[in-house]
Amino acid sequence: MRPLIAPSVLASDFANLQSEVEMLNKSQADWLHIDIMDGRFVPNISFGFPVMQAIKKYAQKPMDVHLMIVEPELYIEQFRAAGADVISVHVEACNHLHRTIQQIKATGAKAGVAVNPHTSVSLLEDIIADLDLVCLMSVNPGFGGQKFIENTYRKTEALKNLIIQRNSQALIEIDGGINQQNAPLLLNSGADVLVAGSFVFSAQDPIATIAELKKSSI
């Protein structure tokens, strides 16, 4: 099975956002990964609704929105209105995760949960059956261009087992430090969706790089 590829717009040239999105439209990218950072959950601020709406204006592919914000429940409907197709909240940012997942689903978006590198996937045991996506962070969230954390392979396998055990339909997305070397190993561990920021946008030929990632196989 080929992975879904979700290039992270965070690494694109914001001064040329329209042409970056049009490049992604032409490429084999499956989703556009949109990183929202609030300067509180993570020590960085990215962009918000107006930029998302600008991306949506040109995007011909689903927008996969990764909320690295505290109290995400306050903004779910607004993210949906700004064009989100998949919305992931961090397990570490939600006191009432079950309620927030139902809230996302009620908007018609697919619901995901993102998990920091230090958080065990066993915490998802009682929510996994309700999820469309689990985003495993393979770097500490907050910045693009960081080094991939090797423990992610073991975590991906544990999550895959949990999904099978609980008869969940959730896809496994891996986010951070992905490149041509670790992509096949991640697929082998059970990954379905690969997010890639700097590897795609710092390449000479991003379209060819996306195609290479798409060809990754076990």
| Residue 103 contacts which entry, ligand DX5, Zn ion, none (Cβ below 5-8 A, type-dependent) | none
Contact between 85 and 112 under an 8 Å Cβ cutoff? The reply is no
Residue 139 to residue 89: CA distance in whole angstroms: 16
What is the number of alpha carbons within 13 Å of residue 43 lying toward its C-beta?
1
Residue 38 to residue 74: CA distance in whole angstroms: 13
Q: Is 110 in the site for ligand DX5 (CB under 6 A)?
A: no
- Cα angle 158, 213, 27; round to 5: 130
- Closest residue to Zn ion, based on beta-carbon distance: 66
Which is the catalytic residue, given 30, 38, 175, 192?
175
- Closest residue to ligand DX5, based on beta-carbon distance: 197
Compute how many residues bind ligand DX5; rule: CB under 6 A: 22
Residue that the structure tokens 């339909």 belong to? 169
Q: Is 35 in the site for Zn ion (CB under 5 A)?
A: yes
Phi, psi of 114 (to 5 degrees): -100, 150
Which is the catalytic residue, given 30, 35, 64, 192?
35
Known catalytic membership, residue 35: yes
Phi/psi class of residue 146: alpha, beta or left (left: φ > 0; alpha: ψ in -120 to 50)?
beta
Q: Is 11 in the site for ligand DX5 (CB under 6 A)?
A: yes
| Residue 146 contacts which entry, ligand DX5, Zn ion, none (Cβ below 5-8 A, type-dependent) | ligand DX5
Return the structure tokens found at 134.
């689990």
Q: Is 112 in the site for ligand DX5 (CB under 6 A)?
A: no
Site for ligand DX5 in 163-202 (CB under 6 A): 175-178, 195-199
What mask of x and - would describe binding to Zn ion in positions 136 to 175, judged by CB under 5 A?
---------------------------------------x
DSSP string, 187-200: HHHT--EEEESHHH
Compute how many residues bind Zn ion; rule: CB under 5 A: 3
- Applying CB under 6 A, the residues found at the interface with ligand DX5 are 8, 10-11, 33, 35, 66, 139, 141-146, 175-178, 195-199
Active-site amino acid positions: 35, 175
